[in-house]
């Protein structure tokens, strides 16, 4: 089935449900996702050698050629604010696990490759025409949808 275009509004709990359903990474547990103004706030736990509770804040900056570029606007580990250089080291290590899923962290930016991320979602393919955050929701305009 082909669909030409669709507009989608996602709340934090919708995004959380999608991630839990399709992004299976044993080291990563997502507890809560909220959208506040222009930020996506993710609370969870990452366990590799040690267990770290975290809160990360992302701001979507742009979408280009199948990739969403977001800025990491805040990151706390175990309710402690940490210095930028330490945050970068921890994030680089933690997000390396996500790179095979299409999520890459590089110098304060998170790049999400939608096509690579969708490889784990059976029977669905689409292109994103536009994405933005407004009224505490993520607004996605998608086209060329194949189900």
Cβ(112)–Cβ(102) below 8 Å? yes
Between vectors from CA 13 to CA 11 and to CA 19, what angle results, nearest 5°? 105
* Tokens found for residue 28: 């990563």
- Note the pLDDT of residue 12: 94
Torsion sign across C-alpha atoms 21, 23, 29, 32: negative
**Residues with Cβ within 8 Å of residue 101, at least 6 apart in sequence:** 23, 25, 116, 117, 120
Q: What is the pLDDT of residues 70-118, one digit of tens each?
A: 998 888 877 666 666 766 666 666 667 778 788 888 777 889 898 888 7
Cβ(98)–Cβ(106) below 8 Å? no
The mean pLDDT value of the chain amounts to 84
State the Cα–Cα distance between residues 82 and 70, nearest whole angstrom: 20
State the Cα–Cα distance between residues 44 and 46, nearest whole angstrom: 7
State the Cα–Cα distance between residues 58 and 71, nearest whole angstrom: 6
Q: Helix, strand or coil for residue 98?
A: coil
Q: What is the pLDDT of residues 59-81, one digit of tens each?
A: 999 998 889 999 988 888 776 66
């Amino acid at each position: 089935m082909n669909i030409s275009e669709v507009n989608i509004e996602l709340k934090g709990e919708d995004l959380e449900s999608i991630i839990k359903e399709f992004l299976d990474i044993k080291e990563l547990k997502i507890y809560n996702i909220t959208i506040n103004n222009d930020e996506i706030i993710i609370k969870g736990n990452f366990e590799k050698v040690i267990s770290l509770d975290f809160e990360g804040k992302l701001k979507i900056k742009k979408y280009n050629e199948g990739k969403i570029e977001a800025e990491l606007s805040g990151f706390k580990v175990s309710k402690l604010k940490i210095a930028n250089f330490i945050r970068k080291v921890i994030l680089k290590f933690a997000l390396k696990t996500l790179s095979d899923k299409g999520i890459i962290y590089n110098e304060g930016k998170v790049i999400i490759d939608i096509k690579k991320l969708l490889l784990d979602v059976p029977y669905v393919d689409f292109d994103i025409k536009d994405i933005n955050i407004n009224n505490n929701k993520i607004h996605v305009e998608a086209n060329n949808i194949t189900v």
